[in-house]
Amino acid sequence: MTEILSTVQLKKLSNHKYSVEGTSFLEPPMQKFWRWLIEQVPTWWSPNAITLVGLIINITTTLILAYYSPDARQPVPPWAYILCAVGLFAYQSLDAIDGKQARRTNTSTPLGELFDHGCDSVSQAVVVLGSCIALRMGENPAWMLFFGCVGSILFYCAHYQTYVSGTLRFSKIDVTEGQICIIGIYLLSALFGDVIWTWPLPYFGVELKMLPIAFSLVGAVIQLKNNFAVIFMEGGVGKNGSTVAGTSTIFPMFPMALVIALEVMLQAKSPNQLYEKHPCLYVITFGLLAAKVTNRLVVAHMSKSEMNLFCFGLVGPGLLFLNQYFNSCLNEYFVLWLAFVIVLVDLYRYSSQVCREICKDLNIYCFTITSKPVPTSSEVNGTKSKNR
């Protein structure tokens, strides 16, 4: 398989230092629980394995919601919402302690940061889908599409400003608060039934679901304002205000802008109302594509390298575009599934290949805390030496 990271990128990535500042409102009280939780985890458990287990739980519980409500309009059994709330809380907790486990076992590496952000990007797409199902957003397809786009943009822009400033910055209302709110939505849907979100809101004449949407929009505006203030007003840490890679601070917006443009355009141009009939599959397809683009941005930041515009995952939406251009000669639903598979396989291929290359370069394993054996001189000079 063709290598993704060059020798120069791997060298810069191995020297990368994690920089973060700011704490949200809920983080200090949650830290007490997280510190207790990490003491219950055996020291042989790899930090990356902790993150991956949390992601698998989150994906599995959300898929149950999608099974019962593939159009985000059907009722879902209360137990499924409770399971989803538990799954998201489990992911949040395990995601919060993976770094503590790395420091506890003295296994902190740049791979851990990259793996954590990669799982977060996938989780973001999954959580957006789950919240849309719980709020029965399929009955308001325009809002559901907007919700999905905003979620991808917010997560991307957080890393966009990190690529420019070199530091990941948390606001007072950030990921932890958002996840707790979504857990609350799941629990309310379980307690009163998801029909609760269609109840009219007194004095406003709109459905109750518009309340969490409104709060989300306010939070999104504040978050984007903070991100863009760093990107365009403070400037980058590179030469002449450039990014950490010494590149333009403007260009990184285009890869995500292309994804969002395709997501909006393809649903508007579909002759068969593809998105309206299959909103969950549509939203998760573009959510995973956005996750792949975000992963490329994180790699570019950590390796201080330039980010390219083209992503192979764009082939999936490209097929939808071509099918529409030729008057939907193929069934659009089939092409959407094909696009989903292409995006999913490309995301897995890219992520796993990057992890393998970093593990090889740092002489570590991804899912165990035991370092690889140091090769003997004969192995270094023979067929087992690094071919870079």
The catalytic residues are 117
Three-class secondary structure assignment of the chain: CCCCCCHHHHHHHHCCCCCEECCCCCHHHHHHHHHHHHCCCCCCCCHHHHHHHHHHHHHHHHHHHHHHCCCCCCCCCHHHHHHHHHHHHHHHHHHHHHHHHHHHCCCCCHHHHHHHHHHHHHHHHHHHHHHHHHCCHHHCHHHHHHHHHHHHHHHHHHHHHHHHHCCEECCCCCHHHHHHHHHHHHHHHHHHCHHHHHCEECCCCEECCHHHHHHHHHHHHHHHHHHHHHHHHHCCCCHHHCCCCCCCCCCCHHHHHHHHHHHHHHHHHCCCCHHHHCHHHHHHHHHHHHHHHHHHHHHHHHCCCCCCCCCHHHHHHHHHHHHHHCCCCCCHHHHHHHHHHHHHHHHHHHHHHHHHHHHHHHCCCCCCCCCCCCCCHHHHHCCCCCCC
